[in-house]
Chain A
């Protein structure tokens, strides 16, 4: 495995790959630009099932799982939802492997009362096919028909338990079944440093009443970045809530898994290679794929990309006490993702792929484009952003005016009505958030259909609040101009045009850094 590195572009550097939604571009960057390449995938655990069993029998700062299980107890197993991992992994999914191992031990201990809950907070409910993919047919067929496997419902007052307030007055309200169980086993997939820890339960199983305390503009603007736990207000808030949950007597056995960044299956694995290492076959695949995709209808192209299952697999699994487990998990994530970068640039460029945590099997709508670029990719840093304050972010994405009407109904109204008024996160939060959060129709769709909660588009917008505050401008290359302008950004046809436009903000002869992701990386900017 080779570590990530920073390449300085010279005349011999080949054009650089930019993801562009459901497509790709090769762009020649100016001489002197820097490209941040991710590390290559870490090796997978040689015996995954053995490692899972070992983690359960030898947990950190906790008794072994069998010692926590007894006949007659109430056991709840919560697990991460469809938003993880990205792209979805090949079968068997990490959650299936871990939960089957947990259930094996539960069966041996004579535990009968078991519930499995998809910890989706305000995300859309998972469909049967998605649950089957995540948990496998065996678990689904055993539990779902009896109503013992279900999606968390954050709008069901009868099944929520209020556990108290943090020192700062943050209310903690989570799933009643989880709160009242003798043991809550949380099965997590840690794709980025933001995931896991107390955030799993304090966010995944929480209601709007609880989430609003950290899913807000102030928290996001004070999380620099939310991938850096020590400088993230998002984490601090979740950790305070985790303390309340623990003090309320909820016993959590946390199981966290880490994945390597082997993101694209063959023959598209060239997308994670360095361009000068592309073979003849890689180049042919690129040319063939780009030409074919250009002639493919949008719907077909989307279904092709959404059917991609990543070959990534487990590099580590740890179980036990939440904090102790999460320290080990975070170290493993950093081992996979950290790349050292010296200094900030005037311009940061990035190619946005077809998928984000909120459009799995769905449409990447303009708000999710903003969230992926300014929320997730901009925040892939520790210490300081890759781009200086007042700098320009150039993203490449088609950014079409399109939404999934079932999954994202409130996004449509947010985009068409609210963004026409203002793009200021603080103004949106103050004036409109509550009405969307308490809208009965959105609530109904969230609970009974497969819709994200009414307030979710606000959270996506807040996710980019730190970047909006930090940047002097945002340009989207190849995006639909009308849509891009609605987002409050500037459209450009080509990268050259975008660079020309950026000089108006950052001055002539700007420095440029390109984030060569995915696969994901975390820039340690000194």
Chain B
């Protein structure tokens, strides 16, 4: 008996333009350049559709998540009441939580017209992460491992266009709870674009989801906004960066003690530095304990006795 020929089911394939065109012989398929890192184009994330999506994300799940994880207390918002126009928010950096926490803390009218300076080598390492960073937090890539003119130009173009900028001048998350010396990016942009810098201090996020933590541990946090700083005439970027660092350190002191004590110490030039005391790691950790508030949220009050 003659075997029946094998039946091969073939779905009709839609032709061009429903599918990709065949490449004629003699031609090479054009190579699509996949730009990531500092070259990633985030322009799409500032178009209306993406902005509205970000607004919904920020005001919905992200705000709820931040509240559940970090129970933020916000102070100093009144210091921004007299400001208008684009601002550079320069904050210390402990955790990946800092950006969402700050984006839900920065008041209107800046909250929804702000970009976040994010490490190009980390947040824009591949297209998926880059797209997520640009969409969710409005990140723009900044080179932190080498000097790169395009990052600064991109940021200054956005500032000139009326966008505010959230930047972490320490250049990365704190490894041990103490801050790091400020780099000059925020100061340079402020000088270049004549935009005030608002120092911001974030406290508590390092304990909740610090560098190296595998999972978050809910706790309390505090965001303190400071008085806006403007570069003086003929003030260099490095000098202005030093002032910004001092202002964040004064806010850290204010958060750890109170405003009046912090003002008194600042007037005497005795504000504890953000970078902590010099010494061995255990001494630095020990000193950190003095500055910390409650480690976690107070346990909910329950009826006594507990069974």
Chain A interface residues toward B at CB < 8 A = 48-49, 91-92, 96, 103-104, 107-110, 112, 114, 136-139, 141-143, 145
A110 to B259, Cβ gap below 8 A?
Answer: no
Min C-beta distance of A467 to chain B, whole Å: 40
Query: Given the interface contacts A92-B81, A96-B78, A137-B75, does A104 sit within 8 Å of B263 by beta carbon?
Result: yes
User: Within 8 Å CB of A49, what residues of B?
Assistant: 82
Within 8 Å by CB of B258, from A91, A114, A142, lies A142
**Chain A at the B interface: mostly helix, strand, loop or mixed?**
helix
Indicate if B295 sits at the interface (CB-CB under 8 A).
no
Binds A, one of B18-26, B128-136, B264-272: B264-272
A136 to B260, Cβ gap below 8 A?
Answer: no
21 A-B pairs with CB atoms under 8 Å apart are: A48-B82, A91-B81, A92-B78, A92-B79, A103-B260, A103-B263, A107-B260, A107-B267, A108-B267, A109-B267, A110-B264, A110-B267, A110-B268, A112-B264, A137-B75, A138-B75, A138-B260, A139-B259, A142-B258, A142-B260, A145-B258
Indicate if B236 sits at the interface (CB-CB under 8 A).
no
User: Within 8 Å CB of A138, what residues of B?
Assistant: 75-76, 254, 258-260
Min C-beta distance of B246 to chain A, whole Å: 15
Min C-beta distance of B222 to chain A, whole Å: 11
Smallest Cβ-Cβ distance to A148: which chain B residue: B260
Min C-beta distance of A452 to chain B, whole Å: 30
B contact residues, range? 10 to 19
Indicate if B238 sits at the interface (CB-CB under 8 A).
no
B258 to A141, Cβ gap below 8 A?
Answer: yes
Min C-beta distance of B80 to chain A, whole Å: 10
Min C-beta distance of B150 to chain A, whole Å: 37
Smallest Cβ-Cβ distance to B75: which chain A residue: A137
- 20 additional A-B pairs beyond A142-B260, A145-B258, beta carbons within 8 Å, are A48-B82, A91-B81, A92-B78, A92-B79, A92-B81, A104-B267, A107-B260, A107-B264, A108-B267, A109-B267, A110-B264, A110-B267, A112-B264, A114-B260, A138-B76, A138-B254, A141-B258, A142-B258, A142-B259, A142-B261
Min C-beta distance of B78 to chain A, whole Å: 4
Docked pose: A339 CA to B160 CA in angstroms: 46
B259 to A141, Cβ gap below 8 A?
Answer: yes
Docked pose: A103 CA to B268 CA in angstroms: 14
A-B pairs, top 8 by smallest CB distance, nearest first, are A138-B259, A142-B260, A142-B258, A107-B263, A107-B267, A92-B78, A108-B267, A142-B259
Smallest Cβ-Cβ distance to A138: which chain B residue: B259
Query: Which residues of B from 70 to 87 have beta carbons under 8 Å from A?
Result: 75-76, 78-79, 81-82
Docked pose: A91 CA to B78 CA in angstroms: 7
Docked pose: A142 CA to B260 CA in angstroms: 6
Chain B interface residues toward A at CB < 8 A = 75-76, 78-79, 81-82, 254, 258-261, 263-264, 266-268
Docked pose: A107 CA to B263 CA in angstroms: 6
Smallest Cβ-Cβ distance to A49: which chain B residue: B82
B75 to A107, Cβ gap below 8 A?
Answer: no
User: Within 8 Å CB of A109, what residues of B?
Assistant: 267
Docked pose: A145 CA to B259 CA in angstroms: 13
Kindly count the residue-residue contacts between A and B in the assembled complex, taking CB atoms under 8 Å apart.
42
Smallest Cβ-Cβ distance to B73: which chain A residue: A137
Min C-beta distance of A312 to chain B, whole Å: 14
Docked pose: A136 CA to B75 CA in angstroms: 10
Docked pose: A104 CA to B260 CA in angstroms: 8
User: Within 8 Å CB of B258, what residues of A?
Assistant: 138, 141-142, 145
User: Within 8 Å CB of B266, what residues of A?
Assistant: 107
Docked pose: A114 CA to B261 CA in angstroms: 12
Smallest Cβ-Cβ distance to A108: which chain B residue: B267
Query: Given the interface contacts A107-B266, A110-B267, A110-B268, does A139 sit within 8 Å of B260 by beta carbon?
Result: yes
Smallest Cβ-Cβ distance to B79: which chain A residue: A92
User: Within 8 Å CB of A107, what residues of B?
Assistant: 260, 263-264, 266-267
User: Within 8 Å CB of A110, what residues of B?
Assistant: 264, 267-268
Docked pose: A505 CA to B193 CA in angstroms: 71
User: Within 8 Å CB of B263, what residues of A?
Assistant: 103-104, 107
User: Within 8 Å CB of A112, what residues of B?
Assistant: 264
User: Within 8 Å CB of A142, what residues of B?
Assistant: 258-261
Smallest Cβ-Cβ distance to A109: which chain B residue: B267
Smallest Cβ-Cβ distance to B259: which chain A residue: A138
Smallest Cβ-Cβ distance to A93: which chain B residue: B78
B254, B261, B264, B268: most-surrounded residue (chain A CB, <10 A): B264
Docked pose: A91 CA to B264 CA in angstroms: 24
Smallest Cβ-Cβ distance to A136: which chain B residue: B78
Min C-beta distance of B227 to chain A, whole Å: 8
Smallest Cβ-Cβ distance to B263: which chain A residue: A107
User: Within 8 Å CB of A114, what residues of B?
Assistant: 260
Smallest Cβ-Cβ distance to A92: which chain B residue: B78
Docked pose: A141 CA to B260 CA in angstroms: 9
User: Within 8 Å CB of A108, what residues of B?
Assistant: 267
Min C-beta distance of A150 to chain B, whole Å: 15
Smallest Cβ-Cβ distance to B266: which chain A residue: A107
Docked pose: A514 CA to B81 CA in angstroms: 37
Docked pose: A60 CA to B250 CA in angstroms: 33
Min C-beta distance of A381 to chain B, whole Å: 36
A143 to B78, Cβ gap below 8 A?
Answer: no
Docked pose: A272 CA to B81 CA in angstroms: 24
Min C-beta distance of B203 to chain A, whole Å: 14
Docked pose: A478 CA to B208 CA in angstroms: 59
Smallest Cβ-Cβ distance to B265: which chain A residue: A107
Min C-beta distance of A320 to chain B, whole Å: 23
A91, A96, A109, A142: most-surrounded residue (chain B CB, <10 A): A142
User: Within 8 Å CB of A137, what residues of B?
Assistant: 75
Docked pose: A109 CA to B259 CA in angstroms: 16
Min C-beta distance of A98 to chain B, whole Å: 14
B267 to A143, Cβ gap below 8 A?
Answer: no
Min C-beta distance of B109 to chain A, whole Å: 15
Smallest Cβ-Cβ distance to B257: which chain A residue: A142
Docked pose: A96 CA to B260 CA in angstroms: 13
Smallest Cβ-Cβ distance to B77: which chain A residue: A91
Docked pose: A96 CA to B76 CA in angstroms: 12
User: Within 8 Å CB of B75, what residues of A?
Assistant: 137-138
Smallest Cβ-Cβ distance to B262: which chain A residue: A142
Min C-beta distance of A463 to chain B, whole Å: 34
User: Within 8 Å CB of A103, what residues of B?
Assistant: 260, 263
Min C-beta distance of A118 to chain B, whole Å: 17
Smallest Cβ-Cβ distance to B78: which chain A residue: A92
User: Within 8 Å CB of A145, what residues of B?
Assistant: 258
Smallest Cβ-Cβ distance to A145: which chain B residue: B258
Docked pose: A110 CA to B267 CA in angstroms: 8
